């Protein structure tokens, strides 16, 4: 696809998400200081010409930390991939561990693998995953810089909600992943993920916009991408949530709640 068509598609998607205006960057924007790509997620390292040594050390430290986290996740995966702690192992095709940057600042947590994820062993690769990828793209996040996992590692039959007995067996696996990755922010995608992580029965509408905590890590809540596919009234408020989440990631020193927009009232067409 050529650049013009790509740009048109992107703008159309933003409009679909409810963005009816476009802010153009100022032509006088200050020149960006090149930042080492690997270092952006943990520690920003500025490279000034002629300065080596300290910066090089930081890159090396960062690479070591990244390799350590990667191997810890791999070891953990090997330990649990044949899990038989709950009956879901009998019907699963693949164990869906999680994917992404082993040192991600932002970790998304969904509910459980669906049909496509169960077949491929990767979270969010079905229709909801496609929409999720598009949203990530517009907020300029890529799967390489985030980490994605689910409350459950195995697909519940017919995508029913996870049972408390399944969650209690599986959540220690997620806890370990969080312990290794050490995200700065966790985003729960949808009611099931949010309620299980926060141990609450509050509805999603009451959980959005707030800064919650999971094991002392700030946790925010937004819609599950599948909910956006089912009801397009959720798209605009979800888009606002994602812009806020991106802002929190870009300014980790300023973790503040925002007043989320409720979705438009559903029209029953009566
Ligand atoms: N829905 C989820 O909650 N997780 C997935 O991985 C896919 C769909």
Between CA 207 and CA 157 the distance in angstroms is 27
The domains found in the chain, sorted by start residue, are 56-250 (3.40.470.10)
User: Which pTM does this prediction carry?
Assistant: 0.82
Q: What is the mean pLDDT of the chain?
A: 86
Between CA 76 and CA 79 the distance in angstroms is 5
Atom 6 (ligand 1) nearest CA: 123
* Residue % of the chain over a pLDDT of 70: 81
For 269, residues 6+ apart whose C-beta sits below 8 A from its C-beta are none
In this prediction, residue 21 carries a pLDDT of: 56
- Kindly give the distance from the C-alpha atom of residue 66 to the centroid of ligand 1, in angstroms, as a whole number: 26
What's the pLDDT tens digit per position in 56-114? 678 889 899 999 999 999 999 999 999 999 999 999 999 999 999 999 999 999 999 99
Q: What is the mean pLDDT of residues 24-41?
A: 43
Question: Which of 128, 162, 174, 222 should be mutated for ligand 1, with most atoms under 8 A from CB?
Answer: 128
What's the pLDDT tens digit per position in 142-168? 999 999 999 999 999 999 999 999 999
- Kindly give the distance from the C-alpha atom of residue 113 to the centroid of ligand 1, in angstroms, as a whole number: 5
In this prediction, residue 57 carries a pLDDT of: 72
For 246, residues 6+ apart whose C-beta sits below 8 A from its C-beta are 139, 140, 141
- Kindly give the distance from the C-alpha atom of residue 82 to the centroid of ligand 1, in angstroms, as a whole number: 20
């Amino acid at each position: 696809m050529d650049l013009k068509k790509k740009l048109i598609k992107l703008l159309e998607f933003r409009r679909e998400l409810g963005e009816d205006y476009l802010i153009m960057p100022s032509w006088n924007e200050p020149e960006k200081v090149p930042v080492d790509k690997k270092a952006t997620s943990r520690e920003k390292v500025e490279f000034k010409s002629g300065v080596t040594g300290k910066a090089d050390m930081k890159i090396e430290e960062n690479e070591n930390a990244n390799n350590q986290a990667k191997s810890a996740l791999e070891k953990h995966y090997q330990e649990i991939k044949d899990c038989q702690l709950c009956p879901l192992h009998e019907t699963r095709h693949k164990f869906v561990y999680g994917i992404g940057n082993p040192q991600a600042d932002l970790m998304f947590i969904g509910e459980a693998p669906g049909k496509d994820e169960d077949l491929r062993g990767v979270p969010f690769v079905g229709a909801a995953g496609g929409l999720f990828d598009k949203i990530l793209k517009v907020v300029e996040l890529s799967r390489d810089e985030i980490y994605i996992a689910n409350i459950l590692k195995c697909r519940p039959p017919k995508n029913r909600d996870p049972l408390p007995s399944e969650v209690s067996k599986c959540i220690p696996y997620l806890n370990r992943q969080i312990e290794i990755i050490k995200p700065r922010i966790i985003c729960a995608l949808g009611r099931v993920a949010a309620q299980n992580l926060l141990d609450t029965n509050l509805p999603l509408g009451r959980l959005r916009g707030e800064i919650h905590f999971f094991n002392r890590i700030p946790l925010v809540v937004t819609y599950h991408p599948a909910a956006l596919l089912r009801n397009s009234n959720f798209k605009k408020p979800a888009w606002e949530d994602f812009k806020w989440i991106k802002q929190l990631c870009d300014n980790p020193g300023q973790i503040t709640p925002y007043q989320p927009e409720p979705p438009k009232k559903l029209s029953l067409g009566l």
